[in-house]
Amino acid sequence: MKLNALKGFKDILPGEVELWQELEEFSRSLFAQYNFTEIRVPLLEETALFSRAIGDVTDIVEKEMYTFADKQQTLRPEGTASIIRAVIENGLLVKKPVQRLFTIGPMFRHERPQKGRLRQFHQLDMEVLGSKSPLIDVELMSLAALFFKALDIDVSLEINSLGCKKCRPAYREELLDFISSHKEHLCGDCQRRSTTNPLRTLDCKTPSCRKQIADAPSVQDWLCEECSSHFITVQEGLRQLGINFTLNKFMVRGLDYYNRTTFEFLTDDLGAQAAVAAGGRYDGLVELLGGAKNTPGIGFAIGMERIILLLLQKDEYTLTRGVDFFLAGLGKAGNAKAFELAWQLRQEGFSVALDYEGRSLKAQMKLADRENAYFSVIIGEDELAGGYGLLRNMKNKDAEQRKIPLTLESFLDLTEELPGE
Ligand code: ATP
Ligand code: MG
């Protein structure tokens, strides 16, 4: 019987995993620059956490969650709800009134797998809890903008404001009127949802729906004074930092918890999966999940698979990372010396590979190439008798092979020649 990974679940293999590690390392240092600290939350939570936070009439909760029905537990489809749960449960906002947190890890959604769309995918997720300042919105977008700039990924930023409890109901009514006069031309999903979650019709991907709602009223025209001034300050802040953006009245995002600012970073280079990062403000969510009243919040997530795909499309990425030394022992004594030397070199911080199968010199040199070794050291019986090995630069085949005393000092002297991390 052949056992395969589940559809939409993917192994990240050696050769690609190095790029993931680099991306994570780079992200961590960028988040630190922005004074974010890491939080790690469980992959499994009570189903109620997600249905309450994300909303019952959303794609995620209606059809995408991996739920153990008998246990009322669900694999997290996103990070925000879990982080807020953890912040409330551990009283973090009492200890420090503004929390700036990030998490990196897998999310699970039962969607139709495609390029850049998986059932287990990974996000870099950032949340700021406890500040209602519109400059936080700008700061988060600036973080994302810097992320993409540093990775040399072309993106465009779209923003919208969804208003708040005060102003959205009136807009919702207006939109409902508009939808009911166009209802017969909308797709099944939108017809069904038009009464429960009319805003979702605005970002329906069905072409006929898109055509119908092109003239729908814009939420931006219905903002109350506070929401309007918040939104204006956000735009001014983006301009102040020189971050380009466009207004998109159709961007409502797939989760119910958003209010005020929402934003997406989009790419033209991934076909249909255009969104590489997305998020927004959720000022009612902490309270909804049992936290203190009127605790504001905002967050966004970057989809890591899509970033990896974009990086892989650039040819400057060579993924193989190699070892510093391949120790090629020959004969019993040579192999024993290689074995011992590997232990000593590794304690000094070098990376080392060696052969345990008694392969010929030729076979070991081939292996050294496959391990992408920088140096190989041949330790045959003759050499060993003289107390030295033969050092070969595997990256420069023209370089002379030279003798190297088999002492730790002579290897430490090579540190300068090795490529830095
Ligand atoms: P999409 O419109 O592509 O379905 P979304 O609005 O559902 O995205 P969010 O919940 O906002 O996505 O998640 C933030 C980011 O996570 C997205 O912009 C995307 O880059 C990534 N993402 C979301 N779902 C998936 C998935 N199934 N596979 C891979 N990446 C994903
Ligand atoms: Mg989605």
Q: Which helix (H) or strand (E) holds 326?
A: strand 325-329
**What is the structure's pLDDT at 89?**
98
Give me ligand 1 centre to Cα 4, in Å.
25
Tell me the longest C-alpha to C-alpha distance in the chain: 93
Q: For residue 302, which atom of ligand 1 is closest to its CA?
A: 15
CA separation, residue 359 to residues 329, 374, 383, 420 (Å):
9, 20, 18, 30
pLDDT (tens digit per residue) in 101-110: 999 999 999 9
Please tell me if the CB atom of residue 117 comes closer than 6 angstroms to any atom of ligand 1.
yes
pLDDT (tens digit per residue) in 113-139: 999 999 999 999 999 999 999 999 999
| 50, 60, 75, 107: residue to mutate for ligand 1 pocket, most atoms within 8 A of CB | 107
- Does the structure show a pLDDT above 70 at 406? yes
- Does the structure show a pLDDT above 70 at 251? yes
**What is the structure's pLDDT at 230?**
98
Q: For residue 306, which atom of ligand 1 is closest to its CA?
A: 20
Q: Whose CA is nearest to atom 26 of ligand 1?
A: 117
Q: Please provide residue 263's backbone torsions phi and psi, each rounded to the nearest 5 degrees.
A: -155, 155
- Does the structure show a pLDDT above 90 at 71? yes
Q: Where are the alpha helices (DSSP H) in 218-371?
A: 225-240, 285-288, 304-312, 331-347, 361-370
Please tell me if the CB atom of residue 273 comes closer than 6 angstroms to any atom of ligand 1.
yes
Q: For residue 279, which atom of ligand 1 is closest to its CA?
A: 11
d(CA 384, CA 161) in angstroms, rounded, equals: 74
Please tell me if the CB atom of residue 365 comes closer than 6 angstroms to any atom of ligand 1.
no
Give me ligand 2 centre to Cα 254, in Å.
7
d(CA 302, CA 220) in angstroms, rounded, equals: 25
Q: Whose CA is nearest to atom 11 of ligand 1?
A: 278
Residues 164-181 have a mean pLDDT of: 92
**What is the structure's pLDDT at 191?**
87
Q: For residue 254, which atom of ligand 1 is closest to its CA?
A: 6
Residues 218-233 have a mean pLDDT of: 97
**What is the structure's pLDDT at 233?**
98
Query: Are the CB atoms for 303 and 277 separated by under 8 Å?
Result: yes
| 63, 109, 265, 304: residue to mutate for ligand 1 pocket, most atoms within 8 A of CB | 109
- Does the structure show a pLDDT above 90 at 59? no
Please tell me if the CB atom of residue 306 comes closer than 6 angstroms to any atom of ligand 1.
yes
Please tell me if the CB atom of residue 186 comes closer than 6 angstroms to any atom of ligand 1.
no
Give me ligand 2 centre to Cα 275, in Å.
9
Q: Whose CA is nearest to atom 12 of ligand 1?
A: 278
Residues 47-66 have a mean pLDDT of: 93
**What is the structure's pLDDT at 319?**
59
Please tell me the least confidently modeled range out of 53-57, 231-235, 278-282, 367-371: 53-57
Residues 346-356 have a mean pLDDT of: 95
**What is the structure's pLDDT at 273?**
83
Please tell me the least confidently modeled range out of 83-92, 176-185, 283-292: 176-185
d(CA 85, CA 82) in angstroms, rounded, equals: 5
- Does the structure show a pLDDT above 80 at 318? no
Ligand that comes closest to the CA of residue 78: 1
**What is the structure's pLDDT at 320?**
63
- Does the structure show a pLDDT above 60 at 284? yes
Residues 230-248 have a mean pLDDT of: 98
pLDDT (tens digit per residue) in 17-44: 999 999 999 999 999 999 999 999 999 9
- Does the structure show a pLDDT above 70 at 216? yes
Percent of the chain at pLDDT exceeding 90: 83
No. of helices (H) and no. of strands (E), the chain: 16, 16
pLDDT: is 204 or 223 the higher one? 223
Q: For residue 117, which atom of ligand 1 is closest to its CA?
A: 28
Q: Whose CA is nearest to atom 22 of ligand 1?
A: 303
Q: Which of the four pLDDT bands, split at 50, 70 and 90, describes residue 256?
A: confident
d(CA 289, CA 87) in angstroms, rounded, equals: 11
d(CA 164, CA 226) in angstroms, rounded, equals: 9
Q: Whose CA is nearest to atom 16 of ligand 1?
A: 303
Q: For residue 300, which atom of ligand 1 is closest to its CA?
A: 14
Please tell me if the CB atom of residue 203 comes closer than 6 angstroms to any atom of ligand 1.
no
Rounded-to-10 torsion of CA 289, 293, 294, 300:
-20
Please tell me if the CB atom of residue 111 comes closer than 6 angstroms to any atom of ligand 1.
yes
pLDDT: is 183 or 133 the higher one? 133
**What is the structure's pLDDT at 236?**
98
Give me ligand 2 centre to Cα 393, in Å.
50
Please tell me the least confidently modeled range out of 141-145, 154-158, 199-203, 289-293: 199-203
Ligand that comes closest to the CA of residue 112: 1
Retrieve residue 288's tokens: 């909804």
One-character DSSP codes across 179-229: HHTTGGGS-HHHHHHHHH-GGGGGG---HHHHHHHTTPPPGGGG--HHHHH
pLDDT (tens digit per residue) in 319-345: 567 899 999 999 999 999 999 999 999
**What is the structure's pLDDT at 203?**
84
pLDDT (tens digit per residue) in 352-390: 999 999 999 999 999 999 999 999 999 999 999 999 999
Please tell me if the CB atom of residue 121 comes closer than 6 angstroms to any atom of ligand 1.
yes
Give me ligand 1 centre to Cα 77, in Å.
10
Q: The pTM is what?
A: 0.90
